[in-house]
Amino acid sequence: MTSGCSVQTGLPSGDRAAKAELKRLQVSVFNEASSNFRRGFDPVVLARWATNDSGTSPQGAEDHTPFDDLVEALSWSSTDGADGVVDLRMSVTTIGYEDHTFGGESYGPGSAQRCVRIHVGSADESVVTVDCGGRTPVAVPAAAKPAGPLDEKKLLHVMGGKSLPAIEAAARKAFPTQSVTASTLDGYWVVVVVREAPDLACMGGSRDPDGKVKVSTAPRIRPGEGDCGADRFVYGPVYGH
């Protein structure tokens, strides 16, 4: 990182300021994940969102010092096929800061690092510190090109399969650039297809115990609506309805 002014030597370490920025960065990444992740997303989207927070943070801590923030993905996964878990290594560095105001705090270069595990899309959303343990960052694949409109006719055809595993396999083949989950809910077979770009949208097919199939699309997910889980396509867009 470069700066328009130099920092004098002999100043206290900037580690404390870096730790404060690291805390802000962790809160920011978790809040984004918790607010925007929907059940049925591919967990890799968590890694994309988080690593996009790397760069120079002009606001930083209270003194508005610029920091270099680096967020690296260590792994991503799902515990139930619809939630998301991502392990991240967060690093913050600063070249230091000279405060020329009365009572201000100046400090020299500093750094801080922490590894965290973020779990969203479930009842027990959390962010906890984990051991970095010399783990190597993993390259995050770029998002697929926009997949275009969700094809209800294609999903309707897929839902005619003889078993839920067969339907799920056919759906993954039919929608290779989109996230697909399959589950059973109160006797219904449910398949949900989530499109990440250009706009968040999800489509679901439900098949009742008598074999009747329904397919519908939620073109936009708005606050207060149900997410892209199976519930939406069995009971409607709002939980409890």
Distance of alpha carbon 151 from alpha carbon 121, whole angstroms: 25
Helix pair angle (44-51, 15-36), 10° resolution: 140
Distance of alpha carbon 223 from alpha carbon 237, whole angstroms: 11
Query: Given this model, what pLDDT does residue 53 score?
Result: 82
Predicted TM-score (pTM) of this structure: 0.62
Which residue in the block uniquely carries the two structure tokens 């839920």? 164
The shares of helix, strand and coil residues in the chain, as percent rounded to the nearest 5, are 20, 30, 50
In tens digits, what is the pLDDT along the chain, a chain of 241 residues?
344 444 445 667 889 889 999 999 999 999 999 988 878 788 999 999 899 888 876 544 455 567 899 999 999 999 988 899 999 999 999 988 777 666 567 888 999 999 999 999 988 899 999 999 889 999 998 876 666 678 999 999 999 999 999 999 999 999 887 888 899 999 999 999 988 766 778 899 999 999 999 999 886 665 444 567 788 899 876 433 3
Rounded to 5 degrees, φ, ψ at 92 are -130, 135
